[in-house]
């Protein structure tokens, strides 16, 4: 089978590409950069096309037509970008991705579309805690692909433009499926982390995702800043577990036909404050150099850290019953093992041990 992987050079894309090549598929990867694809570039069944998907000189239709399966990973997936450049976030995450989907419709190609757990928005407890007998009950923040409502913040909090773009794209794919014009699978990732997740802030400008931000502080003696106290809770998933689930979607097209899947390790929930504390504990025990100061944990407001228009979801726990039943998938890594693996990679890279 020939697979077209759009966004192959990113964190998820690079790990997924390596797995697909190991599984015997021929992969054409498209991205603006290939530095995370060092191993894949050596593989005889991998072809890399260096281009921006928005560049109309790239013949998207021809690339889709030449493939049996299209995997679309292209996205801006960083809260800092949602605040700074909301229109560009919408254009890439909806407009360009819709163009890919419609090419799949024209040529009758199967599409695996990456979405986001952000589409669920806020939990019921996050907006109505005072009306609930037990607002901390996990049932109020456990999201099911078929039944859970999607509760976004107000328009003035334009941080939600990413989630809204992803949600709208999902609804368009669903509509094409209802008409029998598209064979699709939608992936809703729950906070994948692991080696190669981001560049560290000290290596590249911008605001990375929380793991990389904390890792940079630990390595370089900065502060681990908790936005709005770090009360938000997230569920973290090892990239190896995530890729295994996606590989099953590729291999089982009948089971994944026109389905939406949560992909997450529901037992790995932790608050952002808890994440900072656990990362400090692991770093001190395993990676801290003699005499090296340990990063300080401090608090900062969302407005101060991200800018005007910031908002956040309070808690997200995935219901993964569908992935279990249709794909036979179960995550294997607990939270400590997930963090230990990802942190070890960055320590090795920073200290020239990789």
Residue 203 has pLDDT above 90, yes or no: no
SS3 state at 25? coil
pLDDT grade for 119, boundaries at 50, 70 and 90: very high
Q: Which of 25, 82, 162, 236 is catalytic?
A: 162
Longest dimension (CA), the chain: 64
Per-residue pLDDT at 352: 80
Structural domain of residue 192, as residue ranges?
75-197+237-268+314-333
Per-residue pLDDT at 201: 74
Per-residue pLDDT at 195: 95
Per-residue pLDDT at 300: 94
Over residues 216-229, the pLDDT tens digits come to 999 998 899 999 99
Residue 353 has pLDDT above 70, yes or no: no
User: Which residues fall within 8 angstroms of residue 313, CB to CB, at 6 or more apart?
Assistant: 118, 120, 121, 122, 123, 126, 232
Residue 36 has pLDDT above 70, yes or no: yes
Q: 228 lies in a domain? A: no
Residue 205 has pLDDT above 70, yes or no: no
Q: 125 lies in a domain? A: yes
Rounded mean pLDDT of the chain? 94
Q: 47 lies in a domain? A: no
Mean pLDDT of 153-181: 96
Over residues 52-91, the pLDDT tens digits come to 999 999 999 999 999 999 999 999 888 888 888 999 999 9
Of 183-187, 271-275, 306-310, 337-341, the one with minimum mean pLDDT is 306-310
Residue 354 has pLDDT above 60, yes or no: no
Q: 183 lies in a domain? A: yes
Per-residue pLDDT at 209: 85
Mean pLDDT of 106-132: 94
Per-residue pLDDT at 198: 83
Q: 212 lies in a domain? A: no
Q: 56 lies in a domain? A: no
pLDDT grade for 133, boundaries at 50, 70 and 90: confident
The tally of CA atoms less than 13 A away on the side-chain side of residue 190 is: 31
Q: Which long-range contacts (CB under 8 A, 24 or more apart) does 30-39 make?
A: 30/4, 30/5, 30/6, 30/58, 30/63, 31/6, 31/7, 33/9, 34/9, 35/9, 36/9, 36/10, 36/11, 36/196, 37/8, 37/9
Q: 281 lies in a domain? A: no
Active site residue 162: yes
Per-residue pLDDT at 79: 82
3-state helix, strand, coil in the chain (%, to 5): 45, 20, 35
CB 14 within 8 A of CB 82: no
CB 350 within 8 A of CB 212: no
pLDDT grade for 26, boundaries at 50, 70 and 90: very high
Q: Which residue has the higher pLDDT, 34 or 354?
A: 34
Total structural domains within the chain: 1
Q: Which CATH number characterizes residue 176's domain?
A: 3.40.50.720
Mean pLDDT of 325-336: 98
Q: 250 lies in a domain? A: yes
């Amino acid at each position: 089978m020939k697979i077209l992987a759009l966004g192959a050079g990113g964190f998820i894309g690079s790990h997924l590409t390596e797995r697909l090549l190991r599984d015997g598929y021929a992969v054409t990867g498209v991205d603006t950069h290939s530095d995370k694809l060092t191993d894949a570039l050596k593989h005889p069944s991998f072809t890399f096309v260096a281009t921006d998907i928005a560049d109309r000189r790239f013949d998207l239709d021809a690339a889709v037509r030449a493939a049996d399966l299209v995997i679309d990973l292209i996205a801006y997936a960083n809260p800092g970008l949602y605040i700074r450049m909301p229109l560009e976030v919408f254009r890439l995450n909806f407009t360009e991705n819709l163009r890919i989907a419609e090419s799949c419709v024209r040529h009758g190609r199967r599409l695996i579309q990456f979405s986001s757990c952000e589409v669920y928005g806020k939990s019921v407890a996050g907006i109505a805690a005072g009306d609930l007998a037990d607002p901390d009950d996990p049932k109020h923040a456990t999201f099911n692909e078929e039944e859970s409502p999607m509760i976004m913040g107000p328009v003035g909090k334009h941080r939600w433009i990413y989630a809204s773009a992803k949600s709208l794209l999902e609804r368009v794919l669903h509509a094409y499926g209802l008409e029998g014009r598209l064979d699709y699978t939608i992936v809703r990732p729950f906070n994948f982390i692991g080696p190669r997740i981001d560049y560290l802030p000290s290596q590249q400008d911008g605001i990375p995702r929380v793991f990389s931000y904390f890792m940079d502080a630990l390595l370089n003696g900065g502060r681990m800043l908790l936005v709005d106290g770090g009360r938000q809770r997230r569920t973290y998933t090892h990239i190896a577990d995530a890729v295994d689930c996606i590989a099953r979607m590729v291999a089982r097209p009948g089971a994944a036909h026109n389905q939406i899947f949560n992909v997450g390790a529901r037992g790995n929930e932790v608050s952002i404050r808890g994440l900072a504390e656990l990362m400090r504990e692991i770093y001190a025990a395993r990676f801290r150099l003699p005499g090296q100061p340990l990063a300080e944990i401090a608090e900062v407001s969302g407005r101060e850290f991200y800018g005007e228009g910031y908002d956040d979801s309070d808690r997200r726990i995935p219901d993964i019953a569908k992935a279990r039943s249709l794909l036979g998938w179960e995550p294997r890594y607990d939270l400590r093992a997930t963090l230990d693996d990802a942190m070890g990679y960055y320590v090795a890279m920073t200290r020239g041990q990789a």
